[in-house]
A and B are shown apart, each in its own frame.
Chain A
Amino acid sequence: MAITQRLSPAAERRDRSGWSFDPKIAGIAGALICALPVMALVPMAIAGGGGHFSHLFETVLGTYTFNSILLVAAAMAGTTLLAVPTAWLTARYEFAGRRLAMVLLPLPLAMPSYVAAYAWMSMSVAGGPLNAATGGLFPSISGVAGASFVFSLCFYPYVFLLARQAFASEGSHSFEAARILGAGPFRAFWKVALPIARPAIMAGLALVAMETLADYGTVDFLGSPTFTVGIIRAWISFGDPEAAARMALILVILTLAFFGFERWIRRRRSIAQAGGRHRPNPRVQLSGGRGAVALLFCLIPVTLGLFAPVAHLLQLTLETPRQASPWAAVGGTLTVASLSALLAIVIGVGAAYAARSGGTLARISVRIAHAGYAVPGAVAALGVIAILGAAQSLIGGISWAASVTISGGGLLALLFAYQARFAAAAIGPCESAFQRITHSMDQAARSLGASRFEVIRRVHLPLASSGMITAAALVFIEVMKELPATMILRPLDFETLAISAHHFASDERLAQAALPSLILVGLGIPVMLLIGWLSEREQT
């Protein structure tokens, strides 16, 4: 009795060891970081009279909405076409090069979509290699169609990874059950394997939609403007915080809808998965010829999404003798990406502890923090500005508009905005890492004489370390690629690779944009490989 009392969570907080930690606080802090910027947008949006906004509404909002709908629909269709067949092939069949294909297929996540856009545009315009090679038959990659093409190539890994997992676990068993019950391979795929993987595919597509809506660099460069372009124009070009905030709120409502859809699907799915236990089935061996076809097919998405653009950018770089020095931008990118990764681990681990042992309030807070993933960078950045503005006007009593304009700087504000957007990406892996550490493991360790600190050092950290590294790596990559938040919040003399690539590309100096773009991809690929290796190790 004495022991169980001492080990209950409530008693732990009163532990006489002197070192105490209330996980609830970490959870609430995580929730505030994600929710505050969005909430701060509301007063900012209703501050002005709205005259400019109604004008805006008539002129551009229609275009933004139309483009957004088209882009989301086309990106979903494109990613499905690229991801579902490759996921099925690699989950279900064994062929020479399958492991290589599995390593390569997720890699376009290391490719910022705007970089792919620069490369494809440059390859396909008149005078570009693709245009020349096809005698002008290959359409120029631009506009809504071009952006959909680029998004499909860059975002299909979200669908691929989730669909593959679903096919490999429940899908293949049910597929075999269906075959034995007399269904041919096609009927078994359409009637059983695909419907079972459908929730996973839909969840992946929701991520694709959120990424599409959050993108700024691609739609701006290819000329198919959406809300992010509107927000940045209103803020940077017109200095109109009300209009920017209103568009940001519209955008965040859209992304939250997709986010809610994704969560709903995942929750339903976890119920459906509850029955039965799964051990993976052996894959079906494909003989030489058919195996080669399968491998070639699996290499198409990664060739279009990564190899071809990188090869072209490499060529552009080598052909351009006088390059601006990229080192300041490399330094800036590495600084913000690693600081953000460290911060995200602190928030992620704190939130994971909160979700694990913190009670209802903490769990709700962590759920709110998850929604940060639905907050596009432009929205997060604008929200941080609104918070700073509100804080300043509270302190100094300066008027809204004025204070907002002065406060748009500082590395801290930038890091805050990154956490608002990406902390959720760290909370997920941290949480699942800590979920596997049961309370009875804690109790076993304590009963074996370990102090609370020792439990963390000898039990929690070894078990959770790969989840924490994955979390840090994800945030590192995302922050490197992030463009709109950086554009809005960066201090004037602060350069990152994303910023300098975007500036060169906007000035139609693609040859100069190639080098920072390449460095960005070159930094991202090893990190993606690390993430893949860690997740593979988890599964075995």
Chain B
Amino acid sequence: MTNPTLRATGLTKLRGGKRVLDNVDLTLEQGSVTAILGPSGAGKSTLLRAIAGLEDLESGTIESDTQILTNGGALVLPEHRNIGMVFQDFSLFPHLSVIDNVLFGLRRGSNEERRSRALAMLEQVHLAGRANDYPHMLSGGEQQRIALARALAPAPDMILLDEAFSGLDGKLRAELRDTALAAIAAQGAAALMVTHDAEEAMYMADTLALMIDGQIVQSGAPAELYLNPVSASAARLLGEINEWDGPIENGKLQTPFGPIPATASGLSQGMALVRPEGIDISLNPAGEYRAQDVHALGANLAIRVEAPDSTIWLTKITIESAVKAGDRLQVTLNPHFCTIAV
């Protein structure tokens, strides 16, 4: 494991009596992208701004590998933290040209060197041709790329992205994610992004942290979080989930769609969490289950299935399956997609 670029421990921030950040721990590593996913108002942006030094904290420590940045109040001013940041509204300086925006943070070296560095950064985001334009002449996607180039130009140890893609639409967004990942990888910086878009977080992150009400409720690799959520609310952040409360008997929790083995022992009660992809269904005229409705959803069919006791769960199977509304079905649970939370 490489040295952490940044380690935050016990960050706590109060605003109007509410804990916007509640004892948050976070570690960022060089060359790795960490994403924080949470509903709006969870404290994601506050966490990002605290790391940037734009927000004071009630308590907690933020340290880089060389120095302590924050110990309660901000010790190291934002301009001395060597952090890059891409804002949701891009915050390009409207009175400066594109190249001057990128040059703004480049203060070392001769004019020649600074200029060639800035042009190289623009090259990296495929906008070298727009160097002398002004921000208002660019499209939203182009402004976003300039903001990225400006943030990366001073070769920061770490780059922070605050809902950096949420102002843009579908296809453009997907392209920009790859541009951003490539540019960040080329710099070798640690990246921290916050978003409320689950797909974006999973796509970009090496490590994903789920944040609810000022707390990080779970963190790890995206696939791990998707398959083994610690709670129903954590599970819901990443996609649809079927929930079932029940007693655990003989190491199993019985649901209307079948038993789920409990991994931890000693629990008497639990909540079964089953992803829609974890329910395999097949047509069977004698089956006890019934397809209530069927909708196409990208490469999948989303099917609501009714169990004998009238419980309805959502399932997803690949789109070529010939299931229609009203069909009788039989179901089996795929244990990889099932978990039991307390």
Contact = CB atoms under 8 A, between A and B. Distances in A.
A181 B135 CA distance: 17
Contacts of B15: 282
A440 B138 CA distance: 28
Interface in B78-125: 78-85, 87-95, 104-105, 107
Contacts of A179: 53-54, 77-79
B79 A196 contact: no
Interface stretch (A125-133, A169-177, A490-498): A169-177
A271 B135 CA distance: 10
B94 A272 contact: yes
A473 interface: no
Contact of B104 (A170, A183, A277, A282): A183
Contacts of B167: 276-277
Interface in A147-191: 170, 173-174, 176-184, 188, 191
Contacts of B82: 182
A192 B105 CA distance: 12
Given A272-B94, A282-B55, A180 B83 contact: yes
A180 B84 contact: yes
Contacts of B95: 195-196, 198, 272
B324 interface: no
Contacts of A320: none
Most chain A beta-carbon contacts within 10 A, residue among B91, B93, B150: B91
A279 interface: yes
A16 interface: no
Interface string A282-301: 10010000000000000000
Given A181-B154, A276-B91, A176 B136 contact: no
B39 interface: no
Contacts of A188: 79
A194 B66 CA distance: 34
Most chain B beta-carbon contacts within 10 A, residue among A178, A188, A192, A275: A275
A276 B79 contact: no
Contacts of A274: 136
Contacts of B56: 285
B339 interface: no
Most chain A beta-carbon contacts within 10 A, residue among B80, B93, B154: B93
Given A272-B94, A275-B140, A275-B143, A173 B107 contact: no
Contacts of B151: 180-181
Contacts of B84: 180-181
A273 interface: yes
A275 B15 CA distance: 30
A517 B303 CA distance: 78
Given A180-B84, A182-B79, A276 B150 contact: no
Interface in B1-24: 15
Contacts of B79: 179-184, 188
A176 B54 contact: yes
B209 interface: no
A278 interface: yes
Most chain B beta-carbon contacts within 10 A, residue among A179, A192, A279, A282: A179
Most chain B beta-carbon contacts within 10 A, residue among A174, A195, A198, A285: A174
A4 to B, nearest CB: 27
Interface string A89-119: 0000000000000000000000000000000
B104 A178 contact: yes
Nearest to B82: A182
B94 A182 contact: no
A97 B328 CA distance: 70
Interface size class of A (residues with CB under 8 A): 20 to 34
Nearest to B139: A275
Q: State the majority secondary structure of interface residues on B.
A: loop
B52 interface: yes
Contacts of B83: 180
A177 B91 contact: yes
A209 to B, nearest CB: 23
A414 B151 CA distance: 60
B136 A182 contact: no
B336 to A, nearest CB: 41
Nearest to B81: A180
A275 B93 contact: no
B93 A196 contact: yes
Interface in A252-283: 271-279, 281-282
Given A182-B105, A282-B55, A174 B78 contact: no
A188 B53 CA distance: 15
A170 B136 CA distance: 13
B319 to A, nearest CB: 36
Nearest to A194: B95
Contacts of B150: 181
B143 A181 contact: no
B93 A180 contact: no
Given A179-B54, A181-B104, A184-B77, A275 B154 contact: no
A174 B93 contact: yes
Contacts of B93: 174, 177-178, 192, 195-196
Contact of B78 (A176, A195, A281, A285): A176
A191 to B, nearest CB: 8
A362 B45 CA distance: 46
A278 B54 CA distance: 17
A177 B104 CA distance: 10
Contacts of A173: 87, 89, 91
Contacts of B136: 271-275
Contacts of B54: 176, 179-180, 281
Given A180-B84, A282-B55, A275 B105 contact: no
Nearest to A179: B78
A177 B91 CA distance: 7
B91 A174 contact: yes
Contacts of B90: 275-276
A170 B52 contact: no
B92 A275 contact: yes
Nearest to B84: A180
A474 B135 CA distance: 36
A196 B94 CA distance: 7
Interface string A434-464: 0000000000000000000000000000000
A179 B84 CA distance: 10
Most chain A beta-carbon contacts within 10 A, residue among B95, B140, B151: B95
Nearest to B56: A285
B139 to A, nearest CB: 9
B143 A180 contact: no
Contact of B154 (A182, A196, A281): A182
A196 B15 CA distance: 29
Contacts of A177: 85, 87, 91, 93
A180 B94 contact: no
A178 B96 CA distance: 12
A183 B82 CA distance: 11
Contacts of B94: 170, 174, 196, 272-273, 275
A468 B85 CA distance: 42
A281 B167 CA distance: 17
A279 B89 contact: yes
Contacts of B53: 179
Contacts of B134: 272
12 contacts: A174-B93, A177-B85, A177-B91, A179-B79, A180-B105, A180-B151, A182-B105, A196-B95, A272-B136, A273-B94, A275-B90, A276-B91
Interface of B: 15, 52-56, 77-85, 87-95, 104-105, 107, 134-136, 138, 140, 143, 150-151, 154, 167
Given A272-B95, A276-B167, 8 more contacts: A173-B89, A176-B87, A176-B91, A179-B53, A184-B79, A274-B136, A275-B140, A285-B56
8 closest Cβ contacts across the A-B interface? A181-B105, A276-B89, A272-B94, A177-B91, A179-B78, A173-B91, A180-B85, A182-B79
